[in-house]
Amino acid sequence: MSSLARNSMSEVQQNDPTVTPLQPKKRPLLTRPRKAALLSLLFMGLGQFYNRQFLKGSIFIALEAYLLIFWTVPFQWAMWGLTTLGETPQRREGFEIIPGDHSIFLLIEGLLFFISFLLFLWFYYLNIRDAYKVAVKSEQGIKPNNAKEMLKNIWENGFPYLLLTPSVFFTAFLTMLPLLFGILIAFTNYSAPNHIPPKNLVDWVGFDTFVKLFQMKTWSATFYGVFSWTVIWAILATATTFFLGLIFAVLLNQKEIRFKKFWRSIFILPWAIPQFVSILIMRNIFNGQFGPLNRYLMELGITDSIIPWLSDPLWAKVTLVIVNMWFGFPFWMVLMSGVMTNIDKEMYEAAEVDGASSWQKFWKITLPLVMFSTAPLAIMSFATNFNNFNIIYLMTEGGPVNTNYAYAGSTDILISWIYKLTLDNSQFNIASAVSILIFIVIAIFSIWNFRRTRAFKEEDMMS
């Protein structure tokens, strides 16, 4: 439907770039276009009728009538739900439970209605604009589209909308709506033990959740602790894999090394094996009591007692970084080898003529070029590691236990903390507040990264 109005509009724009010529001075206030616009404002489709576009007009009228008749009451009810989140709690009379309002369902329902309402408003605006523009056009002597032309127009200019409809539908309901809901939850008190529907109601509380997160001691201690480890983890995880990858790319790029393909195929294995499988394997290898690693170390006499790879907070963090190196370096190695083989050989030859040593060639030519072309990926990799749920959760489940933290273990990063808050402890409001903060961090990195890349500039020029 929306494409319908817009297409005829866009055609007007295309056909006539100078839509608003200087108006003659003594014209009545109510010009034809204004009349059409006013009529459309009064009721959708009236302006179209006035412009003698009967099919379009009747479709619009029918649409608004349908919405008014069938959806006014549900809409009012949904808005009541969205603003109050329900008023009657669940009651118990004798052995019977009388259901009250379910705040969370009310919230989602209200959100759905609200989004649909915004879409409708936007469409209403397009309808007014369409009436105005068509009237302007007909004043200039261009006949408005008749029904047949309109349909043809829809097929031709509406094709992108046709293509986009399924994606928009999916994104709206499975990504946007859940995200909006997630954001809104941060401003409610939806949490265990006192505000879990259907037993209790949930209320809007404004920024209280954020205040709690930063000022209540148990929450703020956990937040700052987990947050700082998340940052350290993201930096270490990215830097170690990046430089290890660089080292191996350089080694395999040496002329003297033989069987390059053989080494490369072996080193690529950690990347190729499904990650969750290898994390679970690693979890067993590093198992403190029964794992083979400790057994070898003790048999070789390197340590007398077992090393608490996963059960000591510091060791657990070290183990995570080591294991992550195993996973992460092949990607960088492959990427950087690719960059190195693409470097123009003439540059090296020119450097040799000038008497550069191979060390100088590496520092002055290879390294800068490799760094330059992999930097955006390194930044994105930082963002990925910031939210690397799988390795943390599958390896340690956030453990070992940290008694100073609320619902988090020593190796928990923000994202795994959120997971625990939501699924195991029903602290939905705190979880949602933390994910908003994660979003801010990731957004800063992504936008900064994105602005540097060519894609953005091109995009600017194109539209």
CA distances 226 to 9, 109, 127, 453, Å, are: 53, 34, 51, 32
Instruction: Provide the 3-class DSSP secondary structure of residue 413.
Output: coil
Residue with smaller CB distance to other proteins, 23 or 463: 463
Q: Which helix (H) or strand (E) holds 177?
A: helix 177-185
Q: Which two tokens stand for residue 429?
A: 């409001």
* Given 28, 94, 166, 301, the residue binding other proteins (CB under 8 A): 166
Q: Write the binding mask 142 to 161 for other proteins: x where contact by CB under 8 A, - elsewhere.
A: ---------------x-xxx
d(CA 202, CA 205): 9
Sole binder of other proteins in the list 76, 175, 228, 357 (CB under 8 A): 175
Residue 248 as a binder of other proteins (CB under 8 A): the answer is yes
Task: Tell me how many residues contact other proteins (CB under 8 A).
Answer: 96
Q: Which of 98, 224, 455, 457 binds other proteins (CB under 8 A)?
A: 455
134 and 144 in contact (C-beta within 8 Å)?
yes
Sign of CA dihedral 355, 357, 358, 364: negative
Q: Which of residues 18-57 bind other proteins (CB under 8 A)?
A: none
Site for other proteins in 387-446 (CB under 8 A): 387, 389-390, 393-394, 397, 415, 418-419, 422-423, 428, 432, 435-436, 438-439, 442-443, 446
65 touches other proteins (CB under 8 A): no
Stretch that binds other proteins, among 58-66, 68-76, 83-91, 269-277 (CB under 8 A): 269-277
Residues 279 and 267: their CA atoms lie apart, in Å, by 17
179-218 residues near other proteins, rule: CB under 8 A: 179, 181-183, 185
Contact between 88 and other proteins (CB under 8 A)? no
Print burial letters for 361-397: b (CB count within 10 Å at least 16), e (below 16).
eeeebbeebbeeebeebebbbbbebbbbeebbbbbbb
**CB of 36 closer than 8 Å to CB of 139:** no
Helices (H), 43-146: 46-50, 54-84, 103-139
Q: Which stretch binds other proteins (CB under 8 A): 5-13, 26-34, 75-83, 228-236?
A: 5-13
Q: How far apart are CA 8 and CA 148, in angstroms?
A: 12
How does 440-450 read in b/e, with b if 16+ C-beta sit within 10 Å? Answer: ebbeeeeeebe
DSSP code of residue 291: -
| By the rule CB under 8 A, 163 interacts with other proteins | yes
Q: How far is the CB of 65 from other proteins (least distance, A)?
A: 26
**Near other proteins by CB under 8 A, which window of 70-78, 163-171, 212-220, 348-356?**
163-171
Q: Which is nearer to other proteins, 54 or 170 (CB)?
A: 170
Distance in Å, CB of 2 to other proteins, minimum:
9
* Of residues 310-369, those binding other proteins (CB under 8 A): 326, 331, 334-335, 338
161 vs 315 by CB, closer to other proteins: 161
Restricted to residues 273-312, the positions that interact with other proteins (CB under 8 A) are 273-278, 280-285, 287, 289-292
